[in-house]
C-alpha cells in the first residue's frame, strides 16, 4: 500500500531520493526503485553469508545481509521482489538460489523514510561467481559458521565496523520456532 497523504510536497528532488514534507513531518522516499529486498542466505555447511561495504552516510564499513533495490535498472520496471532478491544475492555474493521464500516485511526507518523492506530466505544455494557487487559497489563477502556468528560480529564491532541490526532479524528466522513456514 503506497498511499500518498494529502498535502505531501517535495522539498528537494535528488537523483535517487526525494525529501518530502507533510504537515510538519519531513522524510525521504526513493525515486529510483519499487522496493527493497534483504536476503538471509545459509550454505549447506551452515555458514551464513554476510556482506561488508563502506557506507558514506555512516562514514564507515558496515556488515550487512545481502540486499538491494527492486526495479532500479533503467528500462526495467517489472522485476518481482523474489527475482530482485535472486539477482542481488548473485551480484553481491556469487551465490545463486534455487528459490526465495518470503519471511517478513516492514518499514526500514518509519520515522524518516517511506522504505518498506522485504526479507527473503534463499534456498538451494550454489556458488557460481565471486560476488563483490556491480560496477558501483565494492563488496567483501563473508561466510561465517553459524555457531561463530555472535563472536564474529562482536569482533567486527570492536574493530570499528558497524553492524546492521537487520542481521538480527535474519538470525531470528533461523530459529525453527520463529520460522513462519
What pLDDT does 157 receive? 98
Intervals of the chain under pLDDT 70: 1-5, 76, 179-181
Tell whether 7 and 80 lie within a shared domain: no
**Alpha-carbon distance 54 to 139, whole Å?**
8
Supply 65's cell numbers.
545481509
Q: Share the mean pLDDT of the chain.
A: 91
Same domain, 50 and 109: yes
C-alpha cell at 103: 519471511
Q: What local confidence, expressed as pLDDT, does residue 77 receive?
A: 72
Say if residue 26 is in the same domain as residue 44: no
Residue 181 inside a domain? The answer is: no
CATH number for the domain spanning 49: value is 3.90.79.10
Same domain, 28 and 39: no
Q: Are residues 151 and 101 part of one domain?
A: yes
Do 1 and 83 have their domain in common? no
Predicted confidence at residue 101, as pLDDT, reads 96
Helix (H), strand (E) at residue 157: helix 149-158
Q: What is the pLDDT of residue 117?
A: 96
**What's the confidence (pLDDT) of residue 33?**
78
Cα torsion through 85, 88, 92, 93, rounded to 10: 40
Residue 178 is assigned to a structural domain of this protein: no
Q: What is the pLDDT of residue 1?
A: 46
- Flag whether 82 is in a domain: yes
| 78 and 109 housed in the same domain | yes
Q: Are residues 40 and 8 in the same domain?
A: no
**Predicted TM-score (pTM) above 0.85:** yes
- pLDDT for 2: 53
Q: Are 8 and 62 members of one domain?
A: no
> What confidence score (pLDDT) does residue 3 get?
62
> Under 8 Å CB-to-CB from 115, ≥6 apart: which residues?
30, 36, 107, 108, 109
pLDDT at position 72 is: 77
Range of the domain at 3: 1-32
Does 165 lie in the same domain as 81? yes
67 with 118, same domain? yes
Residues 6+ apart with CB under 8 A from 29: 17, 18, 20, 113, 114
Amino acid at each position: 500500500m503506497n498511499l500518498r497523504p494529502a498535502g505531501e510536497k517535495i522539498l528537494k528532488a535528488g537523483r535517487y531520493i526525494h525529501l518530502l514534507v507533510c504537515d510538519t513531518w519531513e522524510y525521504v522516499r526513493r525515486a529510483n526503485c519499487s522496493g527493497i529486498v534483504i536476503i538471509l542466505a545459509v550454505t549447506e555447511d551452515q555458514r551464513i553469508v554476510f556482506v561488508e561495504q563502506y557506507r558514506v552516510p555512516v562514514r564507515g564499513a558496515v556488515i550487512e545481509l545481502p540486499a538491494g533495490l527492486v526495479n532500479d535498472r533503467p528500462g526495467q520496471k517489472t522485476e518481482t521482489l523474489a527475482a530482485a532478491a535472486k539477482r542481488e544475492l548473485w551480484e553481491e555474493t556469487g551465490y545463486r538460489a534455487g528459490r526465495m521464500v518470503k519471511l517478513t516485511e516492514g518499514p526500514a526507518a518509519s520515522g524518516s523514510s517511506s522504505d518498506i523492506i522485504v526479507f527473503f530466505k534463499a534456498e538451494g544455494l550454489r556458488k557460481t561467481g565471486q560476488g563483490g557487487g556491480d560496477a558501483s559497489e565494492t563488496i567483501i563477502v563473508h561466510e561465517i559458521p553459524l555457531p561463530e556468528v555472535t563472536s564474529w560480529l562482536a569482533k567486527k564491532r570492536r574493530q570499528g565496523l558497524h553492524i546492521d541490526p537487520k542481521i538480527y532479524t535474519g538470525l531470528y528466522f533461523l530459529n525453527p520456532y520463529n520460522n513462519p513456514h
